[in-house]
Structure 1
Amino acid sequence: MAAGASVLNAFSFSGGFSVYAARGGATDVTSLDLSKFALASAERNYSLNTQISEVAACRHHVVQADAFKWLAESQNVYDIVILDPPALAKRKADTSQALQAYRKLASSGAKLTGKGGILISASCSAHIKADDFFDMVHAALKASGRKFKELQRTGQPGDHPAIFQESKYLKCIYVRML
């Protein structure tokens, strides 16, 4: 998916998505996080992988900023935008506010995703139901006025089994912006 692409990894933490995008042939990867410690970890993880020719050839930038503010204000355009914030609904009472935050992220992410690019929006909030999250992403994208096509939805991987309802907290949607 990342071959030849410019990639924004918002809420990058230790840079896992950044390294994988570079390994996949991205030409340019930006890791965005508020935490100086997280970005130092992302830079270290990236440098530990530069023996891989695709990683060595990919430019890696780090941006220390509040992701919500930076995404809303940035004029940059990327081929792939990854939005994977930490849990925004730590309690059931946070659900409504968290959905609004995810909506704001999806809207900002759509603005930064170039035509034909891919927006990836994820949630690890156990109190947000998958259908509510996916519906909210669709609503945000429709409100943006941009046409889009959903490519895929994912949840718990096989190595992270969900035995009871509350353990089904991982959800992700891939959308091509047209």
Structure 2
Amino acid sequence: MSLTPININIPVGLKFYVIVVGCGKVGLEVATRLSRIGFNVTMVDKNPNTLNLLPEDYGGFVVIGDATERETMERAKAIKADLLVTTTGDDSTNYFVSLVGAKIFGIPRVISLVNNRENVPLFIKSGIDVISPIDLTVDTFEHNILEHVEPKVGEKR
């Protein structure tokens, strides 16, 4: 399965507000990078130790709480978000938070990490953009391998 790259077009001069749910390695890196390039970012995570993981130059906010609970997302100001990114290690959590973000809070764009590739079609059917680590890794390997393989005479690449 090959996935299409996700493009986010932001009008020049607008401050884009992003909520990142799940502050493990992926979520923390996404939030930090977006913060560094000028996005308004709020990270949401259950673990209060998340604050200890933040790099010094992180310019966003942190909400400690369960993103599956409405009150937590209200504290994160989900109603004002332009983009929701879910990066927990649990597809069920990512799916639920993504749906609530889109349907209840009206977040116009939702991107979710999907750990089990069998769940990818469900997310896509629900209008959620997908990042599948397995598919991205395999696609990258395939691209790099094919880049260095010469086709035999008469074969097309």
TM-score normalised by structure 1 residue count: 0.54
SS of 2:88 mapped into structure 1: coil
In the superposition, relative to structure 1, how do residues 118 and 8 fare at CA in structure 2: closer, same or farther (>3 Å)?
Answer: same
Q: Give the counterpart letter for 2:46 in structure 1.
A: L
8 A contact 2:41–2:60 mirrored in 1: yes
CA RMSD of aligned residues (A): 3.4
Rate the CA distance shift 1:83–1:23 in 2: closer, same or farther, 3 A. Answer: same
Instruction: Return 5+ residue gaps in structure 1 as ranges.
Output: 89-97, 142-147, 163-178
Structure 1 position 103, deviation (Å): 3.3
Equivalences, count: 123
2:116 pairs with 1:103: no
Larger radius of gyration: 2
Distance apart, 1:119 and its partner CA = 1.1
Q: Distance in 1 between matches of 2:71 and 2:23?
A: 13
Query: Which of residues 103, 119, 125 is equivalent to 2:110?
Result: 119
State whether structure 2 residue 69 is matched by structure 1 residue 69.
yes
Uncovered stretches (5+) of structure 2, i.e. residues with no partner: 1-7, 143-157
**In 2, Cα distance between equivalents of 1:11 and 1:71:** 16
Question: Which structure: greater strand fraction?
Answer: 1
For 2:53 and 2:9, the matched residues in 1 are separated by: 22
Instruction: Note closer, same or farther for the CA distance 1:110–1:40 as it changes in structure 2 (3 Å cut).
Output: same
Fraction of identical pairs, as percent = 14
Say if 2:65 is the partner of 1:81: no
Which amino acid is the alignment partner of residue 30 of structure 2?
F
Q: Greater CA deviation, 132-141 or 13-22?
A: 132-141
Measured in 2, the distance between the counterparts of 1:122 and 1:33 equals 15
Give the 5 Å matches for 1:132-151.
132-141=118-127
TM-score (norm 2): 0.60
Q: Secondary structure at the match of 1:157?
A: helix
